[in-house]
Amino acid sequence: MATQTGPSSKSVFERLLPEGVETEQVLVHGGLLLSIFLMGLPLLLALVMSTQNTTEVYQITNIGVGSEGLSNYQTALNQYGFGEYMINSVVMSVIIVVGKVTLSLFAALALVYYRFPYERAVFMFILLTLLLPVPVRIVPLFDLMARLGWGNTLMAITGPYIASATAVFLFRQHFMSIPASLVENAHLDGVGPLRFLWEVLIPMSKGMIAGVSVITFIYAWNQYLWPLIIISDQSKQVVQVGLRFLQAASQSGLTRWGLIMAGAVLALLPPLAVLIVLHRPLLKTLAIQQK
């Protein structure tokens, strides 16, 4: 970290200031606090307004805590299906995380610790799927789900997501960085591949597994377009699409914005909590992803 500054800074910005490190750090802190405040402001306002009733919301400049307290949250959860949507989103995201991590660990194990023909081609075959995000294959995928009879099922919103080029790539990179001597020892002991994965590789990959899980959870939780299309039974819908239904909520002709803000806060909490708790492995994992 650079904490020291040059004695004769040359920019216009610098010349306006008195000399000295502390003044500059005051500006840095000030700039950061302002940026962070602006980035968080919409969320703070949403939190406050999620406690307001419709009358209070319509007093535009009213930013006091409203008279509804937490009752908008209760209404969203109990009367507008958010309880169900939240559960559906959690189930979907957990299945995708567990599925993707498991499948990708298997694939990376094969790619790094086995010798087989066309290894390079196999790896490329997996990586090339980066060219096929959902919108590129959305019509045939919808068709396929209809033919499989998977419409309105968990399979439809999890199946297409449980294999991933990114996760295989990250685990492969990580396995390749594990010292060969450790691997040799395990092999000399005659350990089979699955025990080797379970007893040697996974304990050595905890940070990476946590990082991939966070990335995947946040990604899965954010899904909107695909569930919107493939899930038509409202009780099976995920919470992001639930926000769309909530827009129609009104009371004597007025949109219930307090209720919508409560729904938005609910739909943000799980991934935000995961990010805050697991930000360290996430940051480490993303640093590898770019390469």
Partner 1 sequence: MSEFTEPYESKWQAFLLLLPTFIVLIAFLYYPGLETFRLSLSQTILLGSQKVFVGLENYVTLATSSEYHSSFAISVAFAAVVVIGTLAVSLFVSYLLFEVDVGSSTYLIAAIWPYALPTAVAASVLLFLLHPSLGIITYYLEQLTGTSLDWFTNGPQAFAVVAVVAIWKQLGYNIIFMVAALNNIPETLTESAEIDGVGHLKMLYRVYIPLMSPTLVFLVVMDTIYAFFSTFPLVDLMTSGGPSGATNLLIFKLYRDAFEFSSLGLASAESVVLFAIVAILMYVQLRLSESYAHYGG
Q: Are 161 and 100 in contact (CB under 8 A)?
A: yes
Rounded to whole angstroms, what are the CA distances from 174 to 146, 148, 190, 212, 285? 38, 36, 23, 12, 10
Task: Report d(CA 180, CA 72) in Å as an integer.
Answer: 57
Instruction: By CB under 8 A, tell whether 94 contacts partner 1.
Output: no
Smallest distance from the beta carbon of 103 to partner 1, in angstroms?
5
The closest alpha carbon to 213, from 138, 286, 269, belongs to 286
58 binds partner 1 (CB under 8 A): yes
Q: Cβ 173 to partner 1, closest distance in Å?
A: 11
Regarding 90 and contact with partner 1 (CB under 8 A), the answer is no
Residue in this structure with the two tokens 């559906």, named with its chain if needed:
88
Residue 287 touches partner 1, criterion: CB under 8 A? yes
Is residue 202 part of the contact set for partner 1 (CB under 8 A)?
no
Q: Name which of 107 and 208 has its Cβ closer to partner 1.
A: 107
- Is residue 225 close enough to count as binding partner 1 by CB under 8 A? yes
Instruction: Name, in order, each residue with C-beta under 8 angstroms of 226's C-beta and a sequence gap of 6 or more.
Output: 134, 138, 157, 160
d(CA 83, CA 73): 10
From the list 68-76, 77-85, 116-124, 203-211, the region that binds partner 1 by CB under 8 A is: 116-124
CA distance 81 to 89: 12
Question: Contacting partner 1 (CB under 8 A), which of 64, 69, 87, 137?
Answer: 137
Task: Report, in Å, the least distance between residue 54 CB and partner 1.
Answer: 10
Whole-number Å distance between alpha carbons of 265 and 41? 13
70 Cβ contact partners less than 8 Å away, ≥ 6 residues apart? 51
39 is an interface residue for partner 1 by CB under 8 A: yes
* Assigned token pair, 285: 């994992």
Phi then psi dihedrals of residue 255, to 5 deg: -65, 135
Count of other CB atoms within 10 angstroms of residue 245: 15
Least distance (Å) between residue 161 CB and partner 1: 8
Window contacting partner 1 (CB under 8 A); options: 75-83, 90-98, 202-210, 283-291: 283-291
Q: Please report whether residue 106 would count as binding partner 1 according to CB under 8 A.
A: yes
147 is an interface residue for partner 1 by CB under 8 A: no
**Residue 71 or residue 127: which is nearer to partner 1 going by CB?**
127
> Which residues from 251-270 bind partner 1, rule CB under 8 A?
257, 260-261, 263-264, 267-268
By the rule CB under 8 A, 183 interacts with partner 1: yes
Compare residues 236 and 246 and give the one whose CB is closer to partner 1. 246
What would the two tokens of residue 206 be? Answer: 């905890």
List the one residue from 51, 52, 56, 57 that touches partner 1 (CB under 8 A).
57
d(CA 96, CA 238): 14
Nearest approach in angstroms of CB 62 to partner 1 is: 9
